[in-house]
A = this chain, B = another copy of it.
Amino acid sequence: MRVPMISKIEEEVFTPRQQAVLTAALDLLVENGDGLTMTAVARRASCSKETLYKWFGDRDGLLTATVQWQAAKVRMPQVNRSSLNAKALRASVEQFARDLLTVLIGEISITLNRTAVTHAAQEKDSLGAIVLENGPMAIRRRLKPILEAGRDARLLRFDSSEDAYRTFFGLVVRDVQIRLLLGDKTLTQINVEANIEADVQTATDQFFALYGADKTQ
């Protein structure tokens, strides 16, 4: 009985067949919300329930594997931190904002976050940890050094890079994520997508207005 030892750090490897199963599970999650039953996954993936239990242990294991596998797929493009003039820094920050917003409003992200929140409502934080780790925290890990490089180059000013990052997050995400998670009908994904670019520009402008060293900004 192969029960994957899934942790936040270890990257689990799945066979193509297993990935097909996980894809089916994710599709069901996206379609049916939490209507993820073992029977449904088995039928969708054309496999037997017994196989599911052999591979993933139990329902929670399947859920965890699905979230883990999908969340890890979110690999945002690296930005070069070689050149550090003002223009390049701005472009980098802007790109981070775009990446963050694009991911967060995606249907898959919404589904994974909803699943993790639901999970967290049952005294289980494993899914939440995975989602956090692969979403906001991944962005943070990559943005922080850039911010600090910007500070070293006297292009940015802040005391705590942690605070700077979190303000950046707030400026970019605002109330979009929570509203999407809550199913706000007045905020269609299409509408949000159309405004991404403008929102990214605004957020970046505001971030530099707050943390840019150049006061004439």
Contacts A114-B121, A170-B171, A170-B175 hold; do A163 and B202 have CB atoms under 8 A apart? yes
Chain B neighbourhood of A113, CB < 8 A: 178, 182
A137 to B60 alpha-carbon distance, docked (Å): 35
Name which residue of chain B comes closest to A120, CB basis.
B183
Question: Shortest distance in angstroms between A79's beta carbon and chain B's nearest beta carbon?
Answer: 21
A117 CB within 8 Å of chain B = yes
- Asked if B114 and A118 sit within 8 Å, CB to CB, the answer is yes
Chain B neighbourhood of A119, CB < 8 A: 183
Contacts A132-B179, A210-B209 hold; do A121 and B173 have CB atoms under 8 A apart? no
A115 to B178 alpha-carbon distance, docked (Å): 13
Question: Shortest distance in angstroms between A109's beta carbon and chain B's nearest beta carbon?
Answer: 11
Comparing A9-17, A44-52, A123-131, A143-151, the segment that makes contact with chain B is A123-131
Contacts A121-B115, A202-B163 hold; do A175 and B209 have CB atoms under 8 A apart? no
Question: Shortest distance in angstroms between A181's beta carbon and chain B's nearest beta carbon?
Answer: 5
Of B116, B136, B182, the contact of A120 (CB 8 Å cutoff): B182
Chain B neighbourhood of A34, CB < 8 A: 118, 121-122
6 contacts between A and B (CB under 8 A): A33-B121, A118-B121, A120-B181, A166-B174, A167-B174, A167-B206
**Contacts beyond the supplied A34-B122, A114-B120, A129-B185: 16 A-B pairs with Cβ under 8 Å:** A34-B121, A117-B182, A118-B118, A120-B183, A124-B183, A136-B178, A166-B175, A167-B171, A167-B174, A167-B206, A169-B170, A170-B172, A170-B175, A171-B171, A177-B178, A178-B178
Q: Which 3 A-B pairs have the closest CB atoms?
A: A128-B182, A120-B183, A125-B183
